[in-house]
Amino acid sequence: MFSKKMVQSIGSSSMIRAMFEEGERLRKLYGADKVYDFSIGNPDTEPPQSVRDAIIKYASSNEPGEHRYMSNAGYSNVRKTIAESISKNSGISISDNNVVMTCGAAGGLNVSLKAILNPDDEVVVIAPFFMEYLSYIDNNNGKSVVIEADTDTFEPNFTQLIEKITKKTKAVIINSPNNPTGIVYSEKILTHLNDILLLKGKEFNTTIFVLSDEPYSKIVYDSVTVPSVLKFIKNSIIVNSFSKSLALPGERIGYIAVSPLIDDHQTLSDIMVICNRILGFVNAPALFQKVVASTINEGVNVREYQNKRDLLFNGLIDIGFECIKPQGAFYLFPKSLIADDVEFTKRASKYNLLFVPGSGFGCPGYFRLAYCVNIKTIENSLPSFRSLYEEFK
């Protein structure tokens, strides 16, 4: 009666959402202050005041046509503002014609994959990764090829990458700062990745794109900088959103930026505009296009996230957990205390600790903690983490 593929997907639905729902159940039983839910990357912070002021301004505007359709690429003045910001930050001059406004980064990734993939083209993802990448690739008739990160650093395993690239390889998805590890890819990593893909592209007479998923690019710590992918990778497509940088996850507003260094880049951008329409997004929300353009240089208080990172990271290390200190985003990715990370996650729930097993990111043996929660939640959770640790140690 229904799509067999989608019926099957119900049984293998996101572990992140499953833990979130478990949190709802436990909160009803014990009260919200007794449940320590680190399962979902849903920022607890509110948008900056300037963003809220802009929402009021544009929502109350009497200018005619404010809520009508516009170009499927988005408002031209909004795209120009974003293009100018990207050009300034990357040193690569990009035109507003190479920017497409999208319904968040998820919409942007689907549009990008639709634009570049032919049936059975391969897309490489680097574990650990946001698991919905696999669905996005499948949505657009591609085939996922998973390689592992180096678990000592969570940087890409380039030996595996070289081995897995074939004549069918069309793209590599990267995510820096990374969800779930918080690792930032250095200039050296990006340069090496570019060299490999150009060399393999020449070998197979193909173009291999890099889709750079960048919603955490403004959330970094300890004077770390996020190198511009546009600057270091020739065939790069940037996908970004304002869900984390402006704390607007529910508004689903983002963009795609196509590198002007890509051969025939304007054709690719034009295809993406068509994809934006035929995939059903049609155009990004009109109101929030204007809001983000007018607050392009604003951001959430990163210091608050850093304080939360330090409190949780230092607390877990003091207890005895093993974890690489994240450089950005708002996640920790510690080692599970037993090999079966799914079972470990289940047993943690009896201490009212909720997090996502690493298997949910293609990396068993770890678990993800989203520390974009109230700092009291972190403080109050540490005794429960100690009890959990003592159960296994």
Residue 90 neighbours by CB under 8 Å, 6+ apart: 228, 230, 231
340: how many CB neighbours lie within 10 A of its CB?
Answer: 14
Tell me the HSE value of 138 on the side-chain side, using a 13 A CA sphere: 8
> For 292-344, how does the pLDDT look when each residue is reduced to its tens digit (9 = 90+)?
999 999 999 999 999 999 999 999 999 999 999 999 999 999 999 999 999 99
Query: Position 390: which residue type?
Result: E
**Among 294, 271, 274, which Cα is nearest to 71's?**
274
Give the whole-angstrom CA distance, residue 201 versus residue 112. 19
Q: Quick one: average pLDDT of 366-392?
A: 97
Give the three-class secondary structure for 281. coil
Q: Quick one: average pLDDT of 158-186?
A: 98
Give the whole-angstrom CA distance, residue 330 versus residue 378. 13
Please, are residues 177 and 217 in contact by the beta-carbon 8 Å criterion?
A: yes
Confidence of residue 20 (pLDDT cuts 50, 70, 90): low
Instruction: Give the DSSP per-residue string, 106-143.
Output: HHHHHHHHHHHPPTT-EEEEEES--THHHHHHHHTT-E
Give me the pLDDT at residue 13, please.
57
Give me the pLDDT at residue 30, please.
66
Give the whole-angstrom CA distance, residue 253 versus residue 372. 20
pTM of the model: 0.95
Please, are residues 92 and 261 in contact by the beta-carbon 8 Å criterion?
A: yes
Please, are residues 163 and 173 in contact by the beta-carbon 8 Å criterion?
A: no
Least confident of 26-40, 46-60, 238-252: 26-40
Give me the pLDDT at residue 124, please.
98
66: how many CB neighbours lie within 10 A of its CB?
Answer: 13
Q: For a pLDDT cut of 90, what percent of the chain falls above it? A: 88
